[in-house]
Amino acid sequence: MELAGLKGSVALVTGAAQGIGAGIAAALHAAGAQVAMADIAGDKAAAFAGTLGDNGNGGDAFPLALDITDPGAVADAVARIEARLGAIDKLVNVAGIQRLAPLVEQTLADFDATVAVNLRGTFIVTQAVGRRMAQRKRGAIVTVASNAARVPRVRQGAYCASKAAVSHLMRVFALELAPAGIRVNTVAPGSTETEMIRRMVAEMGYGPELIGGSLEKFRVGIPLGKNATVADVATAVLFLLSDQAGHITMHELVVDGGGALGA
């Protein structure tokens, strides 16, 4: 069954230069959406957008350099996107960072940076776009959080907390935007094959315990026995953006092969 409501829509994806964000942008583009691809790594977003070509439905993806922690830059970017592509119907918040350290050793700079991007930056973008969607009484929003919001993980305290906070923030956005008919949901991936997970595995010195689990590292494994692919996560996001999810809001869809044991 084809997902409805994506073709011809205008989508903004943050963190779209690589990994999960790039995969979601490519999937939306392939579904016939006009996609704005925003990332702090603007050149990389442009290079990836260039590989997507024309989808025959509004043309090429529109890459732009954007630091989501800068409210002025976000306001400008949203205005530029709408002037060029039209009203944003779909917002996908993917930009995020991870700074690994035990909490008793974590620097304030790393703690602040994590919260600034994962929570505050996502708030800034969702507010800027949500405000416009509310006026138009049209739109769907999906934020990529993490299953680390649901179970504690060693050396990921700031990350876990920022993801738990952003997940709950989205439920409040969902509640407040529901009267305007706007749906707001979250997708919570577990370990997914991207740069971020490769960096984490290297820094944590993980081997087979990433999937098998380790009592010494207080880590449960992944019952399905594999990491997620970017496509696994993108498929969940596209479903929640589509008309088929028309009565789903305030939901968190966990895509982690059982890694958080359903918590």
Ligand X SMILES: NC(=O)c1ccc[n+]([C@@H]2O[C@H](COP(=O)([O-])OP(=O)(O)OC[C@H]3O[C@@H](n4cnc5c(N)ncnc54)[C@H](O)[C@@H]3O)[C@@H](O)[C@H]2O)c1
Measured CA to CA, the distance from residue 260 to residue 20 in angstroms comes to: 19
Measured CA to CA, the distance from residue 182 to residue 39 in angstroms comes to: 24
Closest separation in Å from C-beta 76 to ligand X: 14
225: helix, strand or coil: coil
What are the residue ranges of helices labelled H in 154-207?
157-177, 195-204
116 versus 180: smaller Cβ distance to ligand X: 116
Question: Using the rule CB under 6 A, is 192 a contact of ligand X?
Answer: yes
Question: Using the rule CB under 6 A, is 3 a contact of ligand X?
Answer: no
Say if residues 61 and 29 touch (Cβ distance below 8 Å): yes
What are the residue ranges of helices labelled H in the chain?
19-30, 42-52, 71-85, 108-115, 122-136, 157-177, 195-204, 209-212, 230-241
81 versus 95: smaller Cβ distance to ligand X: 95
Question: Using the rule CB under 6 A, is 66 a contact of ligand X?
Answer: yes
Q: Which range in 25-33, 64-72, 175-183, 245-253 contacts ligand X by CB under 6 A? A: 64-72
Say if residues 161 and 151 touch (Cβ distance below 8 Å): no
Closest separation in Å from C-beta 18 to ligand X: 4
How many helices (DSSP H) and strands (DSSP E) are in the chain? 9, 7
The total number of residues shown for the chain amounts to 263
String marking each residue 81-120 x if it binds ligand X according to CB under 6 A: -------------xxxx-------------------x---
Q: Which of 130, 159, 161, 194 is catalytic?
A: 159
Question: Using the rule CB under 6 A, is 144 a contact of ligand X?
Answer: yes
192: helix, strand or coil: strand
Closest separation in Å from C-beta 175 to ligand X: 22
Q: Which of 63, 139, 189, 259 binds ligand X (CB under 6 A)?
A: 189
Q: Which of 12, 13, 20, 36 binds ligand X (CB under 6 A)?
A: 20
The binding site for ligand X (CB under 6 A) comprises: 14-15, 17-21, 39-41, 66-69, 94-97, 117, 121, 144, 146, 189, 191-192, 194-197
Q: Catalytic site residues?
A: 159
